[in-house]
Every structure is written in C-alpha cells, then in structure tokens.
Structure 1
Amino acid sequence: MTTASRATTVAIAAGAVAAVVGSAPVAAGSAASFCDELQATWDGQRCTTMVVSARKAERYIAFDLPEPQLNASVTGPVLREFYHRLMAGWRDSGAQAARDSSAIAYFDSFSGPGAVQSLVVHECLEPFGMQANNAYRTFVFDMDKGHRLSLADLFKPGIDPMAVISAAAAPVLPAALDAAAPPHAPNTYPFTVEEFQPGPGRPGYTGNYRAFALSPEDLILYLPDAPMLRENPRPADRLVWSMDGGAVVARVPLAALSASLRPEYGGS
C-alpha cells in the first residue's frame, strides 16, 4: 500500500469514528498554536502528524483539541501537559511499530452541576489488521475553586466512594452491560453486575472508577478506563476475558448519590 493510499484509508477511518464519538468544533487560533508546540500540523480541524518506524511502518496521529479548555487558567496547564505526554508516547511507540497504525484522540465535554467542567478524552490506538485499543482519560474541574477534582473530592467526609457508587450503579448496570459489545445474551459472563463492581480484594472490570465525568444529572463511568488483559486476580474456574477500555458506559443518577455527595456536586 502506498503512503498516499494509507493516509486516505486512515482519514476515512478517522472520520467514521469521529461521527460516533462527539467532540466540540475547534476553531483555528490557539489550537493551531498549541499544535505547533506538539510539533504537528493543524489541518483546520485536527492536529496531525505521521511517524515512520525503522521497519517503515507508518502511524497516523491525530488529536481533536478542546480549545476553550486549553486556554482556561484552571484547565489549561493540566490538559496541555496531558496532550504533550500523549503525543510523546504515541510517537515513541510508533517509531518502534512493526505495522501501520492510527492513533486518534477524540474528546467530549460536560458542564455542571454548578461550576463543574468535565472533559473526557477517548484514545483509540489501532494497528491495522488488528482490534483497536480504546482508553478513556477524564478530567473533572471545579472552576470556582480552581482545581481538578478526584473522585473522593465529590463526596462528603467519611464516605467510601467505592461502596456508595457500586450500590447506586447496581440498578443501571444491567442495561449498560446488555448494550455492550460484542453482542451477547443478557446477564452472561463476563457482562454481569458482579464483574463490573469492585469486590473484596478485586476491582473487577471497574478500573477502580478511575474514568469518571459529571453531567448535570449523572455520574458517568467508563468501565474499565483502559484495556485489561485479564481479571486480577485471575479466576480459576472459568475463561479469562480481556476487556477494552470503555467497554461499558454507565450513567449513575446524581439523585441516587445525593445523600453522599457534597452540595456543590449534586448532593443534598
């Protein structure tokens, strides 16, 4: 396959995924300037570059950039550091790749409750001819207080977030699990509530709820946050499944958590 045809194939694939994963439109300006910092090219919509490995494998890298958040004093430094690290990591692994690939970062954003701003970055790394690997990196900020929020920051003192979230998520998980790919019979392993909740000594496929965002109505969980090669600890009595990042997206109503949340984050 020629360089031109490979680039065309990647561009078509990128456009198809972008139609599925929403992201706010980005205007030229500071996004283009930041793209220069990343030593890439702003094409009017995305920050792109191509890396060629010693084995002549090409990696197309493309970032959708959340320009307003990149410019804000609270969110900008954290997000700019993240995108620098992501670009460096994808360049380094691309320089050692044995096959052509694409590495694309999309984003989605949410405002609320109150002064909360959430950004969700969807990383999609796809070696051509193989299954894509997805990961979700989330950034939640309190714009009034001027800092990034951890999961524990959302809850009142003395509350165990793992326990409270797992209880509130139990009613909404079955529908989210049934909708997950690949198609499967409802309530069959590993797409069961038990596997997607933390238990004694095991996180299951939750990723310890590392990937979370807030909307005005929900706590949004991306389960797990990144690909898992196997469960940990490894089950001795059944097949071991790998699980892609964001295989299950669960929306837990803030109303179900209100007694445990701080008032500024949807609590009562």
Structure 2
Amino acid sequence: MSIGRKLVKVMRDPWILLRKATSPLIERRKAAMDLEQERARSIRFLSEHFGVDAAALHDEYWSSAFASWYLRWYQELGRLVRDKETSSHFDLVTLYMLVRALRPEVVVETGVNYGASSAHILAAMRENGGGTLYSIDLPKPRPPGAPSQDFLVPPELSSSWRLILGDSRDELPGLLRTLGQIDHFHHDSLHTVQHMSWEYATALEHIRYGGVLSSHDVVVPLSLQNVFETFCRKHGLPYGVFRNVGIALCQW
C-alpha cells in the first residue's frame, strides 16, 4: 500500500493508530489467557444461562462439515491476502455455540470483512433449523481477484443472509426500525469508545427480553476503558467475556 493510501486510511479511521500502538499489549493479554480455561468458562456460561449442553455444541462444531470447509477456505484466504483480519477461531467457535444455544430468529451484525463471523452465525442457524442474519459492512474497494465480503461464507448458507453495504451510522437505525425486535446483535465494526457505545445503545432498544448483545474485540490494554464491560454495568446486563468476545444477556 502506498504512503498516500495509508494516510487516507488513517484519516478515515484514526483508531487505526491506537490499535497499532496498543496491539502488542493486547496480544500479550490474550496470550496470557489459558485457552482451555477460557473455553471451559464459555461452555459453563452458555450451559448455565441457556440450559443447553454447550460442551456437546462445541464437539458438534468440530465434527461438522462446515468446520472443515471453513478451515480450508481460511487457509486459501491466507494465500491470497497477507493480513486476513478475521476473528480468531476460538472467538468464532464461541459465537457458533452462542447462536446454537440462543436459537435466534433474527440476528443483526455490524462488520463483515471476509465473512468469518457471518459464516459461523449462519452455520449455527442452519443447525437450529432457521433464522435470518442481517449484516452491515462498509463498501470497500477491492482490486480484481481480491477476496469478496462473502469469501468465507459457504454458498449454501447465503439464502439466509442479507448483506447491507453502508456505514452502520446510516444503516443500523433504519434496519432496526424495520425489523422492530431482534434476538441477537453482534458488534464487530469500528472499535472506538464512541462508536461501540453508540452501536450497543442503538441495538439494545430493539433486543427482546432474553436476547443477547455480543461484541468482538472487547479486550483492551488495562490502561484503556473496556467499553463493553462499562456498558453492561451501566445498564445492569449480566455478561461474560471469553478471550476476545463479550456476551451480555438482555434480561430487562
């Protein structure tokens, strides 16, 4: 990428500079987490709050044809692009188990990139027997031959997917008004205090009782404000954070 294009990217998203500066700190925090303990915590949380056997859902995922398909295409993505910029597999499996446990009919997510989280939500919905995912993502100029926003989404799952290209500031309020009530909102777009807080608050008004607000990239350096946890405490939402995914229960 040329210097000029890099400057334009930073001007559009100043948070890039902070992410670059704090990335080593965040990675050290995540590396310090014991993955087996984090997985056990996520399984216990989902089992207790949704009355399911989340351990069985975890095993279901890893024995599925979808998991094998996703790993193959994720490796292919790595061959095509240097910076894959997708959620970790740990976080994606957590999201899959959450959707299987919640059994939502309507899910709204912001942030798609190559479709990693979208694919896992859709795969879980298929196992549930139905549901529709509405995803909002910024339109991004891509050179010929570059991976598209549905690169990691199996074609057979696309019939349950509605991809909306635009800024969530413009698209999210209208979509939520049209849908009225939703079961699950998942944030994975611009990770700034202001934007995350706005998306959480905007979505919360439309999440049904017993629904879920979830967010990716909730781990921050200890010196910075944890937006997700702060929001949950402010609104009295029971929540859990597992590696880099936050799950809040909308019980009000």
State the TM-score, normalizing by the size of structure 1.
Answer: 0.27
The answer to which structure has the higher helix fraction is 2
Q: Which has the higher contact order (CA 8 A, sep 6+)?
A: 2
The answer to which structure has the higher strand fraction is 1
Structure with max Cα Rg: 1
